[in-house]
Every structure is written in structure tokens, then in C-alpha cells.
Structure 1
Amino acid sequence: MNAPRVVVAATRPAVRQLGHRITSTSTKSPSLRPIRHLHTQAPRSSQAAASAEAVVDAERPPSASSNPALSFPCLDAVETRTQTLSRRSRSQAGPEPSYTTGQHQTFRSKDPLLLDWGGILPEFDVAYETWGTLNVDKSNAILLHTGLSASSHAHSTATNPKPGWWERFIGPSCPLDTDKYFVICTNVIGGCYGSTGPSSVDPANGQRYATRFPILTMEDMVRAQFRLLDNMGIERLYASVGSSMGGMQSLAAGAMEPERVGRIVSVSGCARSHPYSIAMRHTQRQVLMMDPAWARGFYYSSVPPHMGMKLAREIATVTYRSGPEWEQRFGRRRADSSRPPAFCPDFLIETYLDHAGEKWCLEYDANSLLYVSKAMDLFDLGAEHRSRVAEMRQQNARKLKDYGKGATTPAEEAKSDLCTLTLPATPYEEQDADAAALDSPSTPTTANTQPPTASPADPPSDLVRGMASLASTPTLVLGVASDILFPAWQQHEIAAALRKTGNARVTHVELGEDKSLFGHDTFLLDLEGVGGSIKRFLE
């Protein structure tokens, strides 16, 4: 009979304070000087227990290991944060941050809003900030659309002097010249910086929406923004301006309300999300949803899913910048080449990603990331998609008409809206036809696909039909050659589709890698290339 086996586990050592993180992420500095100590901490917590466990044969005494166990300070940091948040969750303050960036104005719509996929917001808030002065006839208003996780705080204000995310682009004589224009920026619905989103309270039951919040689209966000404009008495915008996700919204605003939008600026945006960007956002959502603390979205009274959020942000950061920039900025340099390699952040590029995730993991609501990023995936200005959504809205119009009148009970309404999505019975398998399609230069272009080799002068006819309402709207389309998330061919596609509609007032600008190596984030950083082009177009 085999001898019994005994599990010996080390006791949990005391928690030690981590070293400092990166103190600078300036793109102009060729050398970052992280002083985070990667190898000097003893393993602890669950990592300590796992690494110290030794299954020992009872017939002979345990012997020393051939090599010492690796330390994992990055996991220690996550566990320390979890412990801190757990302690806070037992206090009255709660673990969830306020998700606000300071003073802003709030518009509250008491009229219900029907969303594209059938959901209803019985009422909603839109957080916004303004700069400049609205003229007498209200003809100088510019609606500024944000990227995925930005707040309405694009520029400092008297009540919130903190620099905004587009601080240098807004102000007297700036690209958005406040001596000329009245600039309005909102936090999108679905967000968490003052506008109604998953972390908001559902007026129907007094509880947080969480994942009871309905699926959103870019067009839904724009509808909420136009409710704000209606409330301000602004019938027509001088311009609709946006970058990244904001570039999508800017195009959507013009396509939905062409008579209300005088000009369009779309920077590093697209007319339809393509598979690579969908795949990257899917990966971020999956990492977040696999965090046990996410709890299917119902985490507001407990520890938020900071681990998943950190990893999701690291993945996103990889798509926001470019390889050439990182080659110049980090190269293959390690944080401390005198120490042995480690699985935790070791190379400078790893410490940069770690810093990005650490900084952001508690600054944005996890559910907002899910909803807003999914809305980006669903974006498509093609005629087929727009027609299908319009048909859905027509079918769901009775919900809005009957809302609050007792035509159906809440239980019946909920049952009719239950998600019926199921996973495929068999996993996806590569088909011979897929490879043949890629090899064939004569593959026909369908409604939502375009061969990588297609000429930018030949956008899909479906997209041209879907953008027909923009045929007379002056439009600036700006792209960046080093952008991998919204690649330059997508801006070529927008410009070409607009020209195919008969629009003769399309300005297309592409910044080559000689002008910018900042990738997708160029719209946040390049005041001359991006800002200068916008200023000239708006004049």
C-alpha cells in the first residue's frame, strides 16, 4: 500500500509596501526611469502558498528545492488592492469610485428614450461642459464627441480647472476657437462620468442598472446628445467634431440629422467597425468578464473587477500606439538589466503597460467599458445595416408608445426582451473556401466586407448607399498611417464613399509616419497635424 502523502504549506508572510511605479511616461524622454523593485520582495498571499506547497513523501524528510521560487510583485500588488477594497466594502464608503472628473452641467430628460435594439431608458442624464459663447442666432455651436472612456471635461473651466483631455485644442485661436465657436462636449450615455449608464440607478426599482442596462449603439448616444441640443434651443450645429469613437459619432450625427449638421470632422474614425478592432475589443471584454469579481455585472456593493480592468486596459494600450514609436521610446531595454528576468513587468515596455493598467483600473466603470465598446463594434453606416435597425425601431415603437400605460406587465415586457443568444453547437472551423477567397483577386465585395486589396476609390456600394444623406455635407476625414486600431484605409474608405455619393466637399488628410509615430493616440497629441487641419477646415 502506498504511504500517505502530506501537504506542507508555508504560512502567509506579512504584506510589504511596493516600490514606486514609473514616474514619467513622457513621449519626449528617451529613457523612462522606473524604480519599481521587481525581484526584492518575498512571495506572499496565494502566490506564496502556491509556490511554497510541497507534496512530500512521508517515508523521507523533505529536501531543499533546486532553485528558489520566483517572486511575483505584480500579483502581490493586485492582491493588496483586493484586500484594501474588501476592507472598504465593509465600510460605509463602499469600494466603488465616484467615476467623476469634477464639476459639470447635467441635462435631465424626463421623456423616455427608445434605443435601437429595443431597450428603453425611462429617463436619462447627459453630463456636459461648454466653452465660448453661443451667439444670438445660435449658429456657432460645435458638438465635440469623445473617445471610448473620456468624460465631458475636454478643457479646463472656472469650476473645474483640471486640464482636459483636449486642453490644447480648445480656446482662443485654438483649433476649436472659443472666440468664434460655442463648444459643447458630453459624456456619452452608457458612460460613467455623469451621464446615465450601467452604474446609474434605475428609476423603476431604485437599484443600479448593472447588466440590466440595455444594449446601446452610436446612434443612441447621438440621439441623447440631440435631446440636449433641443433643450438648449440649438437647431443646427456649425460642426460635429470627433476623434476615434467620436469620429464614428460625428459621422452618425450627420447621417441621422443632415439638416442639423453644417460640417463634419472625423479624425481616426471609421464608417463601420472592421474585424481587427472588433477582435481587440472582444478580447478586452472577455478578460474583464472572466474576472470573478465582475459577478456578471453586479459588483457595485462589493469589490470591483479591478484585475480584469487592468488587463483590459493593457490590451487596449497596445492598440493605441505604434511599434515604431515604442522602438524609439523603449527598444528592448529592461527596467533593471542587472537583475534576473521576471514574469512580472521586466522590459520597459512591460512597465509602461503595467503603469497604464494600474492607473486606469479604478478610474472607469467596468460595465461602461462593456457597453460602450460593444456599441463601437455594432457601428455600421452601410445601407443594409441601417435599414435593418430602422425596421427594428419601427417594430419596437409600440414599446415607447405603451411605456408606462400598463399595456404589459413588467414581467411580460422582460420576458419579451430576454436574450436568446446561444453559442454555436460546434466551434468555428477553417473552411477551404476562406483560403480560396483570400487568394482570389476577383472576390466580390459584399455588404459588410471589403477585400484588403480593394482600391480606396472603390468603397462597397452598400456603404455608399448608407451614407447618401451626407452627399452635401462638407466633411474633413483625417487618418494616421501608424494607426493600427483605426487603420488609414478606413479613412480612405470614408472619403471615397462620400465622394461616390456625389459629395464634392470632402477633405481627406493622412499623416504619414514621418509626421506622427503616435498611432491611434495621435489625435490627443498632435496639435499641428491634427489641430491645424481642423482649424483650417472650420474657417
Structure 2
Amino acid sequence: MPPASTHEFIPPGTRFHALPSPFPMKRGGALHGARVAYETWGTLDAARGNAVLIVTGLSPDAHAASHASDPEPGWWEPMLGPGKPIDSDRWFVVCVNSLGSCKGSTGPASIDPASGEPYRLSFPELSIEDIADAAAAVVRGLGIERLACVIGNSMGGMTALSLLQRHPGIARAHVNISGSARALPFSIAVRSLQREAIRLDPNWNNGFYDDDSYPESGMRIARKLGVISYRSALEWDGRFGRVRLDEAIPLAGAEDDPFGGLEFQVESYLEGHARRFVRRYDPNCYLYLSRSMDWFDIADHAGGDVSAALARIRIERALAIGANTDILFPVQQQQEIAEGLAAGGAQAQFIGMDSPQGHDAFLVDFARFGPAVRGFLDSLDP
């Protein structure tokens, strides 16, 4: 396996599945020597029928929760583990890191075996369908013919639907959390601005940056735009109001700029959140994954009819849930998923949560989302 580049960030308990070589990409080109990072919890039963797959949003790695190989809390720690909503005492849980990411799976930050250098922008055009096919390869590689359930949140909701569409019979049930069957104009617009912020940073340099010359400003702005869209105006108002800082904080390099300081608590929060992120995610990977969401439309092969495309997916049970305050993946999109899958014969349920946290609610509002997921999984036959 080729060495990782300096912009890959891999949790210590991560395992890897080698993809078939070549691995064809939907929009052209192929990967050679590619891999997908994943982690597991629980025990696969003798019939190999208790497997649950988690496919993630844009930025998470495969470390959804702590386990013996990596005791650090994961990004979905309250949801996954013994006795938790996704109960690893009952289920064998697999979480995959998306193809194209910088968290262990092959992506633009990885070394191209043909050149010995990072792919950067020579990485093939990435689609949600490629991410789904790579996740399916992990499932098959673990000897699992049919998943008990595939759970996808945010971008992972897109990936899960593509997985079900492209690999019929791969799962009996599906939980779609704050996901969608296609990108809507508002979310496309937000992601377009995020990508523009990165690309207009001089240090991006057409993808040829390094640790010393890094597009930090572009990544900061992109992350701030993302965080603003992940939460709701209701939460921003309730959490910060118009509270000012005791003293304005000048931004680096803008000490003499009268507009370059942080005056409000909400500004300080966004700045801190952005700075924690910018050096922990590769900019080129961000660009590729962001664009893959904009391109995704499950109706591409159904004459543009989302409902018809969803109705062609054959599963037994489905749950689609989201937050009523989500502006990035509006709750109507989860309702559309439930109704479309029901038209295809699934016993499908839709729940719109009265959570103030917007799109990020599934990452923080465990009091609402946890019981819904637990109840659905508990109702599945073993």
C-alpha cells in the first residue's frame, strides 16, 4: 500500500479494504491500488445477518465510536456501542470512510501509485455512486451478502440511496437521517461558495499547496459557511443573541484593519470552529466530495422523476428522519424519501424532529434522534 501523504488523517484503529484494481469511476477514469478505510463494532453472527452499515457525511472518518483498538470517543459516540441506539451487543456495525476522503480512503490527498506523488487534481471526477460502490465492496469483502440495515446521514443519506439503487438486495432496511435523493439549489449554492472560497485563496495554487503554503483563509471561510448552514437561525439567536465580546479580537494579518476584528460571540464561535477544522481536512478532498453531492440525483436513470426512482428500490423497512429547522437538507426531502420507498413496497416511516439545531441535529440532539433510531432497529427481525 502506498504511503499516506501529509494531508491524510487516519484514526489509529482504522482498517482497510483493497478495492478491485482497476476500480472504474462513474464519470470516467479508474483507480488502481485504491482502498477504503473502515472500522467495526460487535460480532458478526453465524448467519451473517446482523450487519449494519453506516455511511457518513462529508467530513467524518470511520471512527464513529470508541472500541478496543481506539478508545478515543468517535463522532457518533452517544449513538453507537453496547446498549446504545445502534447496539453493538446485537448488531455487527461497519462504518466506512467515503472514497475521496482524507481519512484513510483513497482520495486526492493519497499517493498516486503511477507517479509517486499525491493525486491532487489528477484524481478522477468523484461521484456519490463511486462512494456507494466502494462501500459495497467493503460489505462484500467482509463476506456479508445482505445487510440488516444501511444507515446514512447527510451526504451519507445520498450514498445509502445510491447503494440501494445500484446494488439491489444489499440491505433489508434503511435509515435515512437528514439526507436527500438529490441536491437542491440552496445547498448547491452554499457548497459552490465554499469551493470558490478555497479556490480563490492564492495558496490553493491549483491544488499544489503544502503545509508551509496552505489555503488556510479559503478553508476557514468555507468552514464558516458550512457551519452557518448546518445550524438554524433559531439556534444562533438562542445560543448567542447579540452578546459582544469583552474586547474585540483582531484576525491574524488584519490587526490594522477596522473591519478585521471579531466583536460578537457568534463571530468568535465561528472562527474557533473553523480553525479547529482547516488543518484537519484536505482542501482538495473537500472540493471533490462537495461537488459529488451537487451532482447527485437519484432520478438520473428514471427520466428525472425522483419518486419513480425511489419506488424502484426494493427494501422491507425504512425510516427517514430529519430536523424541521434544517435548511441544508430540508425535512421535505426526508419525507420524499419515505414516500418514494413506500411506493416501492417498503414499510416506510417519516419523522420530522422539532429540533432547533438544524442540519447538525443528528450529531447533537441525541435525546430525539437516539430513540427514533433505536426503536426502528429494535423492530427489525434478528
- Length-normalised TM-score, structure 1: 0.66
* Unaligned ranges ≥5, structure 1: 1-94, 388-446, 449-461
CA–CA separation in structure 2 for the residues paired with 1:131 and 1:173: 12
Q: Deviations over 1:188-210 (max 9, x none)?
A: 11000111000111111211100
1:288 matched to which residue of 2?
A: 198
Please state whether the residue corresponding to 1:495 is helix, strand or coil: helix
Q: Does 1:231 align with 2:141?
A: yes
Q: Which amino acid aligns with 1:537?
A: F
8 Å contact kept, 1:152–1:186: yes
1:435 matched to which residue of 2?
A: none
CA–CA separation in structure 1 for the residues paired with 2:283 and 2:346: 43
Question: Which one of the candidate residues 371, 374, 378 is aligned to 1:535?
Answer: 374
Q: Which amino acid aligns with 1:356?
A: H
For residue 97 of structure 1, report the CA deviation from its aligned partner: 4.5
Higher deviation after alignment, 256-265 or 127-136 = 256-265
CA–CA separation in structure 1 for the residues paired with 2:47 and 2:338: 31
8 Å contact kept, 1:151–1:193: yes
Distance 1:297 1:337, change over 3 A: closer
CA–CA separation in structure 2 for the residues paired with 1:148 and 1:209: 19
Q: Which amino acid aligns with 2:278?
A: C
Higher RCO (CA < 8 A, seq sep 6+): 2
Question: Which one of the candidate residues 285, 288, 298 is aligned to 1:368?
Answer: 285
Q: How many residues align?
A: 367
Question: Which one of the candidate residues 488, 495, 505 is aligned to 2:347?
Answer: 505
Q: Does 1:490 align with 2:329?
A: no
Q: Which amino acid aligns with 1:357?
A: A
Q: Deviations over 1:347-404 (max 9, x none)?
A: 111111111111111000000100011111111111xx136xxxxxxxxxxxxxxxxx
8 Å contact kept, 1:476–1:506: yes
Higher deviation after alignment, 343-352 or 105-114 = 105-114
Q: Deviations over 1:494-525 (max 9, x none)?
A: 222223x343501111112xxx1111111111
Distance 1:254 1:135, change over 3 A: same
Runs of 4+ with >6 A deviation: 337-341
For residue 326 of structure 1, report the CA deviation from its aligned partner: 1.2
2:111 matched to which residue of 1?
A: 201
CA–CA separation in structure 2 for the residues paired with 1:380 and 1:103: 34
Question: Which one of the candidate residues 261, 264, 274 is aligned to 1:357?
Answer: 274
CA–CA separation in structure 1 for the residues paired with 2:191 and 2:273: 17
2:189 matched to which residue of 1?
A: 279
1:171 matched to which residue of 2?
A: 81
CA–CA separation in structure 1 for the residues paired with 2:111 and 2:260: 41
- Length-normalised TM-score, structure 2: 0.92
For residue 336 of structure 1, report the CA deviation from its aligned partner: 1.8
For residue 472 of structure 1, report the CA deviation from its aligned partner: 4.0
Q: Does 1:519 align with 2:335?
A: no
Question: Which one of the candidate residues 269, 282, 295 is aligned to 1:378?
Answer: 295
* Unaligned ranges ≥5, structure 2: 251-257
8 Å contact kept, 2:313–2:344: no
Q: Percent identity?
A: 40
Q: Which has the greater radius of gyration?
A: 1
For residue 342 of structure 1, report the CA deviation from its aligned partner: 5.3
Superposition map of 1:68-87 within 5 A: none
Superposition map of 1:26-425 within 5 A: 96-300=6-210, 302-336=212-246, 343-382=260-299, 385-386=300-301
CA–CA separation in structure 2 for the residues paired with 1:290 and 1:223: 32
CA–CA separation in structure 1 for the residues paired with 2:57 and 2:338: 21
